[in-house]
Amino acid sequence: MKASFVSSSAINQAMRYSLMKTQAALVNAQKEQATGFFADKGLALGASTSQSVTFNREVERMKGIVASNALATTRLTATQNALGQVSTAAQSFLSILHTAMTGDSTASVTKDMATDALKTMTSVLNTGVNGEFIFAGVNTDAKPINDYSAPGSPAKAAYDAAYAQYLADTGADPADPFPTAADMNAFLDTYVEPQFTGAGWDNWSNASDQSISSRISLNETTETSASANNDGFRKLAMATTMISELMSGDLPSDARKALVDRAWALVSDSISDIVNLQSKTGIAEKRVADASERLNTQTGLIEKHILATEGVDPLEANTRVADLLSHIETSYAITARIQQLSLLKFLS
């Protein structure tokens, strides 16, 4: 006769091991129920896992570019608004110059308008968005334009030095430095213009000529900022500075006419340059918007493919979670019954 026995401890351990496996399966099932995707993609997809990784990486890359495009759009919109403000100030100043050319405006009014236009341009070009100066080119942490009227202004110091040099070179009388139109034009051409078209512009600007270039799609980049070094701003700065420094009721009529004519030509060219910059900015805004729309469409298509490849049936996931919970509850009940087994109870 062979004696056999049943160990309640062995049964308990077997139930415990089964319960642990069920709990691990429940964790994955609940994850799939919550996300709608396989909990272990490598196990579910096998050889197709690398393709899945590639698709997911492309989706994340495109979403990153779309987010970057949103920042570029904000910068371009702010740039467009700023250009509109500078253009409006230039238009108002041009109107005053036209009035001055006909002799219907006093020197003080024309001079005040020049000063106001210069202050407006300086303020607008120093506009910041998200902690970056939008007209600084790639030097986004540097204030683009130095305030001409600020104490210690390098631009004002350079102008005063140029004026002193003119007096020294020509021997002109400080009380009547520009007796003729030729004298005025000589001063403007030789001593003033280089401060705005040459190396002297460094006294005004801290911006870089290079604008910010952004990747707006997988294979496309574009400039998404403007620089304070644009010719339109230089010409407007020169015209407003000329008038604010030189316009006076004491100027001989010929010299005054030469001064106003020169300022009028500069402001007219400036407005044209700013309009061109506005058009360029508008084109960049359109390209960014179109690129974001294409990326969103591509992202949607790839996400559909990812869902078809990695997605789980929501109904099946819910059913599996319910079955596993039921299994676990049953295991708990059986384990509790086993723990209550007693030899003394059996013998009695």
- In this prediction, residue 2 carries a pLDDT of 53
Residues 6+ apart with CB under 8 A from 253: none
Give residue 347's pLDDT: 66
Asked whether the predicted pLDDT for residue 12 surpasses 70, the reply is: no
Residue 265 has pLDDT above 80, yes or no: yes
Q: How far, in Å, CA of 137 to CA of 125, rounded?
A: 11
Percent of the chain at pLDDT > 70 equals 93
Residues 24-78 have pLDDT tens digits of 888 888 888 888 888 887 888 787 888 888 999 999 999 999 999 999 999 999 9
Mean pLDDT value of segment 324-341: 79
| Mean pLDDT within 103-112 | 84
Arithmetic mean of pLDDT, 80-93: 96
Kindly tell me if the per-residue pLDDT of 125 is higher than 80.
yes
Report which DSSP code applies to 199: G
pLDDT attached to residue 6: 58
pTM score, two decimals? 0.80
The C-alpha angle 21, 22, 26, rounded to 5 degrees, equals 120
Q: What is the DSSP letter of 205?
A: B
Could you tell me the CA-to-CA distances from 168 to 171, 175, 188 in Å, in that order? 5, 14, 15
Per the CB < 8 A criterion, the answer to whether 131 and 125 are in contact is no
pLDDT score of 258: 96
pLDDT score recorded for residue 273: 97
Q: Which helix (H) or strand (E) holds 144?
A: none
Q: Give CA–CA dist 62/218, Å, rounded.
A: 7
Q: By the 8 A CB rule, do 109 and 96 touch?
A: yes
Residue 329 is predicted with a pLDDT of 85
